[in-house]
Amino acid sequence: MHKLHKHQARMGYLFITPTMLLFLAFTIVPVVMAMYLSFTNYDVVSRRDWVGLDNYRRLFQDSLYWQTFRNVIFYSVIFVPLNILISLLIALLLNFNKPGVKLFRTMNYLPTLTSAVAAATVWIWLLHPEFGLVNGLLGYLGITGPAWLAQTNTAMLSIILVTLWQSIGSNMVIYIAGLQGVPDYLYESAKLDGASAFDRFRYITWPQLRPTTFLVSTMSIIGALQLFDQAFVLTQGGPANVTKTPVYLIYQQGFNQLQMGYASAQAFVLAIVILVFSYINTKVNKSEESIL
Amino acid sequence: MTVFTLVALMFTAACGNTANTANNNANAPTNGGNKESSAKVKEVTFWGDWGGEGQKQFETMVDAFNNSQDKIRVKYVLQQDMITKFLTAATSGGSPDVLFWDRWRTSLYAPKNVLHPIDEYVTKDGLNKEDFYGEALKELSYQDKLYGLPLTVDARALFYNKKLLADAGVTPPTTWAELEAAAKKLTKWNGNKLEVAGFSLNDKGLFNMYLQQAGGQMLNADNTATNFNNEQGKAVLDLWDRMLNKDKVYKLGFETGLGEGTDAFVTGKLAMQYNGPWNLSTYKKFGKDLDFGVVAPPAGPNGDQASIMGGFGLVIPAGAKNKEEAWEFIKFWTANKDNALLWAKTSLNIPGFKPALEDPFFTEDPNLKPFIETLNTAKIRPQHSGYSVMEDDALLPNLDLFLNGKLSAEDTLKKAQQRGDQLLKDNATVQ
């Protein structure tokens, strides 16, 4: 018995070794390296001198850096709740085993499969102020649509629209999986007790979906704080930096302005912020548990 | 892109050394082989980021060079993200021999010793510097050292749609006042829908050019601080404000996302715009029904004419293994009348080598002539290592706010100056 365990353990370690090596080489080592670089004036090419906390000191006075955080927080506050709401609604609609429903599921999942850059390129055209489909449709309703991507007050909303379009598909799939894990007997007994459809959702579905919601919200928050591709392609961070995100700024600072040390410091602060937000999210989801 | 990917990229950059050493070793036998018999052909690697049509244009020149002699073989390698790859290669020895170089980058990169100065070669081969555009050479220099030769020179000139101008009874403008009046006449609105824009106000980055037309300069005389928060800067913003908000000759975002074939100018939805010679080939190809003309940029209120010179050069990275051969290739392409002309004809770019411009190809082409005239007075951007940072982070965002009606002209200039001066100071020294 004991021997068998040992053998199993050995095999287990053997199987995870390749993955762990890759994880070590491409995640752990780079992170440690970036941490070291954040204390240097590394410029990719000629210098790598230790500068202590200089980069971090500079960061606190960098108004642009904090503006990028305000931008992604604005983005998250709208994006994350909408993302959860819409993907849950679609999942509820498509959670039946009726013929044809699979087709709709596939169609809703399709946007997720396209590459962010390709999708954003098409959306630039859809959002064109004069010839775009979006303003064309608004025109039928008698509304003059804005120049979505060129105006400071609509640029971030456009990015939210595009990222929502692209991300609700995968969250819908997660929610459908969650919904199918809810045991039927709960609904049956609730029906016997005379619970309405809303009550059944409120007291059975939603609480049962808590782990799913936790997963979806955490992933959305992390994704939101790391927004890059869409902002890069749709607006290049403009106009007036309203769509510039921390990751975009880090990329620019490191590769365009050759300040990789400073960019590493920015990346580290971003990582800490993501950690904090994920932690808050865990707490919020735990506190809800006591309601039950 | 995730933070992890970024971190991984930084790491790759940092440790490029180890990765590329392996690469070098792999290449070693070939190089060693070359040394043994010097008669053997040397391989020169040429990196650029032009694909598609541009790649064919490059390959025409590479083939011409390879066929002209039998000692050196050049190979063009298309690099999508060229600068990033070059940076990782520069520190490690995986460097190419010739690099296609956006010239304004020189004052940021040359101080870091990643480029090889070519003064020696120029003297040795007795090239006459007067044959090249002085401003372009200046842009390829840092602290009295020359780092490359200009491959193309460009400047903005005014493109206009002949048919639209004729229909509106307008002649191509030569001054700001005429430009404004013409744009107003050319614009067509259908209710809230802009059908034909009179003049493109798409590129706020041209502020520098407008400022010089108004008689101003971006930086002060000793190149230490911004110099646009004044009457001249105000004149530019007032012009933009009038055209965009009062005359309504343009709408923000009007041209965003329109590709080559559906370009607003090609489809006749835009009557006039500032553009460079690089678009001549596109307009000739896609706009079969498009009859367009080009004139020098209209002069400002006091008659000042100005345009910004930009363009590309060819440089030799400090880590190049075949510097002599790389130089032969650069010389062949950029400092020879026939080859510069071949390049001009295949790509419709204006070469940096002046003797080639005496050819009828340039002197008799009505679309190229205005550019050649403009180039005689065009100036490069100020050579300050913090200049691009200042423009990107201080000036352009505030101009966006201005164009969106969120800032007054005075506040725009004031804010751009405050932040701009700070950024120039922060980025003044490059060790």
The C-alpha angle B163, B167, B170, rounded to 5 degrees, equals 90
- Residue B29 CA, chain-centre distance (Å), reads 39
The pLDDT tens digits for A158-167 are 999 999 999 9
Picking from B1, B392, B398, B418 by the largest number of A CB atoms within 10 A of its own CB, the best residue to mutate is: B1
CATH numbers and ranges of domains, chain B: 16-154+310-375 (3.40.190.10), 157-307+384-426 (3.40.190.10)
Asked if residues B65 and B333 have their Cβ atoms less than 8 Å apart, the reply is yes
Q: Which residue of B has its CA nearest to A49?
A: B431
Is residue B364 less than 8 Å (CB to CB) from chain A? no
Interval A20-49 mean pLDDT: 90
pTM: 0.82
pLDDT beyond 80 at B1: no
Q: What pLDDT is recorded for position B145?
A: 94
Is A141 part of the contact surface with chain B (CB cutoff 8 Å)?
Answer: no
ipTM exceeding the 0.85 mark: no
- B29-54 pLDDT, tens digit per residue, is 444 344 444 567 899 999 999 988 88
Structure tokens at A285: 């989801």
Chain centroid to Cα B170, Å, comes to: 31
Q: Which amino acid, residue B209?
A: M
Give residue B258's pLDDT.
73
How far apart CA B99 and CA B140 sit, in angstroms, is 13
| pLDDT band, very low/low/confident/very high, at A144 (cuts 50, 70, 90) | confident
Q: Please give the Cα distance from B192 to A139 (Å, whole number).
A: 10
Q: Transcribe B130-191 into DSSP letters.
A: GGB-HHHHHHTEETTEE-EEESEEB--EEEEEHHHHHHHT-PPP-BHHHHHHHHHHH-EEET
Q: What does the DSSP assignment read for A183-206?
A: -HHHHHHHHHTT--HHHHIIIIIH
**The pLDDT value given to residue A287:** 60
Is 50 exceeded by the pLDDT of residue B360? yes
CA–CA distance, A206 with A183 (Å, rounded to integer): 13
pLDDT at B155: 92
Chain B positions in Cβ-Cβ contact with residue A46 (cut-off 8 Å): 112-114, 431
pLDDT of residue B30: 41
Q: Does A250 touch chain B (CB under 8 A)?
A: yes
CA–CA distance, B137 with B141 (Å, rounded to integer): 6
Where does the pLDDT of residue A237 fall: very low under 50, low under 70, confident under 90, or very high at 90 and above?
A: confident
User: Chain A, 60-89: which have a CB under 8 Å from a chain B CB?
Assistant: 64
B80 touching chain A per CB within 8 A: no
Asked which of A135-144, B53-62, B207-216, B405-414 is least confident by mean pLDDT, the reply is A135-144
pLDDT of B286 reads 72
Task: List the one residue out of B260, B304, B277 whose CA is nearest residue B156.
Answer: B277
A103/chain B closest Cα distance in angstroms = 30
Q: Does residue A13 sit at the B interface (CB-CB below 8 Å)? A: no
Give the residue-averaged pLDDT of B287-310.
89
Mean per-residue pLDDT, A256-261:
86
The residue type at A261: G
**Interface check A43 vs B, CB under 8 A:** yes
- Residue B77: strand, helix, or coil: strand
pLDDT for A285: 75
Q: Is A203 exposed, middle or buried (0-12, 13-18, 19+ CB in 10 A)?
A: middle
pLDDT tens for B250-270 read 998 888 877 666 788 988 899
d(CA A245, CA A226): 8
> Could you tell me which chain A residue has the CA closest to the CA of B259?
A125
Check residue B226 and report its DSSP letter: B
CB contact under 8 A, B11 and A251: no
Q: Which stretch of A103-117, A273-287, B379-393 has the lowest confidence by average pLDDT?
A: A273-287
CA distance A267 to A242: 20
Binning pLDDT at 50, 70 and 90, where does residue A45 land?
A: confident
Task: Look up residue B207 and give its two tokens.
Answer: 């502020």
